[in-house]
Amino acid sequence: MFVGFPTWGMKLPPPMKSFLKQYDLRGKTVIPFNTNAGYGVGSSFETVKELCANSKVLEGFTMKGGIERDGVYLVIKDEKAKEAEVKVKQWLQKIKIIK
Ligand SMILES: Cc1cc2nc3c(=O)[nH]c(=O)nc-3n(C[C@H](O)[C@H](O)[C@H](O)COP(=O)(O)O)c2cc1C
């Protein structure tokens, strides 16, 4: 299961924490991915691991997205979309989801 979320306050957003606590993902493979405003994933990937202790949590992917605070939205387009495609593909190959 792919689980995507933004970084909020250098943490996993509370709605995502509730979501992961609510569902029994025992035995499932959890694959986290993230966008942020340039400060990285913070503790979010670690928290996913903690909340999915009985799941196999694979290496996550992150990239800089929009900057909501500054009204910068939907930035993954044009050149950035091409960059994202290449990076996502490399990541999916690394974690052996695609060849
Ligand atoms: C409440 C809130 C807190 C945020 N905290 C952070 C943060 O700690 N670090 C960071 O890099 N970005 C932070 N952001 C920015 C979002 O992570 C960023 O705008 C979002 O990932 C962009 O995703 P999108 O391009 O898919 O819309 C925050 C945004 C909100 C609304």
Task: Answer whether 66's CB lies under 8 Å from 39's CB.
Answer: no
- Answer whether residue 20 is part of any domain: yes
For the Cβ of 36 lying below 6 angstroms from any atom of ligand 1, the answer is yes
pLDDT, tens digit, for every residue of 2-61? 999 999 999 999 999 999 999 999 999 999 999 999 999 999 999 999 999 999 999 999
Task: Please give the pLDDT value at position 65.
Answer: 94
- Domains of the chain: total: 1
- Closest residue to atom 26 of ligand 1, CA basis: 65
CATH of the domain at 16: 3.40.50.360
Ligand 1 centroid to residue 36 C-alpha, Å: 5
Domain that holds residue 84: 2-94
**CB-based burial, 28-62: b 16+ in 10 Å, e otherwise:** eebbbbbbbeeeebbebbebbeebbeebebbebbb
Task: Please give the pLDDT value at position 6.
Answer: 97
Ligand 1 centroid to residue 98 C-alpha, Å: 28
For the Cβ of 72 lying below 6 angstroms from any atom of ligand 1, the answer is no
Ligand 1 centroid to residue 93 C-alpha, Å: 27
- Answer whether residue 99 is part of any domain: no
Confidence label for 74 from pLDDT (cuts 50, 70 and 90): confident
Ligand 1 centroid to residue 11 C-alpha, Å: 10
- Answer whether residue 19 is part of any domain: yes
- Answer whether residue 70 is part of any domain: yes
